[in-house]
Amino acid sequence: MEAIELIIGIAVAALVVIGGGALALVRRARGKDVEELPPPRPRPGLDYAPGVGDDAQDPRDSATRTVEQLPPLDAVDASETPLPPADVVAEASGPDLDRPAPAAGRLVRLRERLSRSNTALGQGLLALLSRERVDEATWEEVEDTLLLADLGAGPTEELVERLRERVRVLGTRDADAVRELLAEELLAVVGEDVDRSLAVTPHDGRPAVVLVVGVNGTGKTTTVGKLARVLVAEDKDVLLGAADTFRAAAADQLQTWGERVGVPTVRAPGDSADPASVAFDAVRAGREGEVDVVLLDTAGRLQNKAGLMDELGKVKRVAEKALDGAGGVDEVLLVLDATTGQNGLQQAKVFSEVVQVTGIVLTKLDGTAKGGIVVAVQRQLGVPVKLVGLGEGADDLAPFEPRAFVDALLA
């Protein structure tokens, strides 16, 4: 009996001790002696102001700082770090650089894609002219086909007149003969003897300077990146200038394109810098680095905004100033969206008046059946189409080859 009472007493004592320890822990957790948790880390996507979108007309607030410019989160000194200088050169790095495909023959390689998108023009004309009887109604259909393909009124009238005469003289509806006839006439209106080479050879002890311009959404930055790949494939030393300081992340996008092929990018520390100053710094860096070509990306702008167009003219003048009298900008490439058709012609005209366009880059040519825009824009500006975009791939920017283009239309 006494042994049982002793065991019960020991158990009660143990429960008291355990309960007291638990109570102490609860009180400690509720008390002020608990170690404070560290403050939450900043949230880059929420705690810093976002950039302005692609269609904005005003630059980002100069007080806004990008995430990469903030001091490290674990830094002992919480004071601000100074912003980098205006002419920051982002060096391309990384052991695994892309090897761009050779530029020569790209249009032939992408012939299937081009022919699929343009059957309304080439195949439509072939079907019409191969009929057993080509009457007035047929010629009206031929004219409608050309107009719907954005060839333009003048070139359409000229082409139909020549086709009428040659079909009458030919006197046959043999498919091969008609195809050959069409190929010759389409090649004549596209222009086989036009100089479409890019002026990208350094001269007078300085690099060639290429300015890329256009309206919002035509793919200028992507075009500059793809053009860099074309030039690298030709063993050119290239430097990129991120003079699009209006669109958030435009410089990051351009720098990424450059890093993939080992090309450096000159950019401002923020998105509110003067685009003309960035262009100046890029050309100056290109001269000092003895590169072959400086490619300048610019912000998209609407052709009816006089202030923005004037600024574009300033970018060109300041870039030429950095050459110290050793000539001007070698190429001004206007990027046009081929899917806009005739609407792009007025854009082209205004840009040409401001910066004297020397060549056209037609993007999204794989997404339209209106291949006639090639002819229309050349007639409108008097300058050749030099490059065409045939897809979203990194190497889908091709030097424009008239014969390969016409062959693809009739494939």
Binding residues for GTP: 214-221, 297-301, 363-366
Residues tagged in the binding site annotation: 214-221, 297-301, 363-366
For the beta sheet containing 331-337, the strands, ordered from the edge strand earlier in sequence to the opposite edge, are: 88-90, 265-267, 238-243, 293-298, 208-213, 331-337, 359-363, 385-389, 397-399
Phi, psi dihedrals of residue 185, rounded to the nearest 5°: -75, -40
* Residue 275 token pair: 């685009």
The three-class DSSP label of residue 241 is strand
Where b means 16+ CB within 10 Å and e means fewer, 218-250 reads: bbbbbbbbbbbbbbbbbebbbbbbbbbbbbbbb
C-beta of residue 221 within 8 angstroms of C-beta of residue 363? no
DSSP 58: S
C-beta of residue 394 within 8 angstroms of C-beta of residue 98? yes
Q: Hey, how many other C-beta atoms are within 10 angstroms of the C-beta on 378?
A: 20
Phi, psi dihedrals of residue 187, rounded to the nearest 5°: -65, -35
DSSP lists the bridge partners of residue 210 as 295, 331
* Residue 246 token pair: 């209006």
DSSP 177: H
Which element (helix H / strand E) includes 238?
strand 238-243
Phi-psi region of 94 (alpha: psi -120 to 50; beta: other; left: phi over 0): left
DSSP lists the bridge partners of residue 399 as 387
C-beta of residue 86 within 8 angstroms of C-beta of residue 273? yes
C-beta of residue 129 within 8 angstroms of C-beta of residue 186? no
Q: Hey, how many other C-beta atoms are within 10 angstroms of the C-beta on 325?
A: 8
Which element (helix H / strand E) includes 266?
strand 265-267
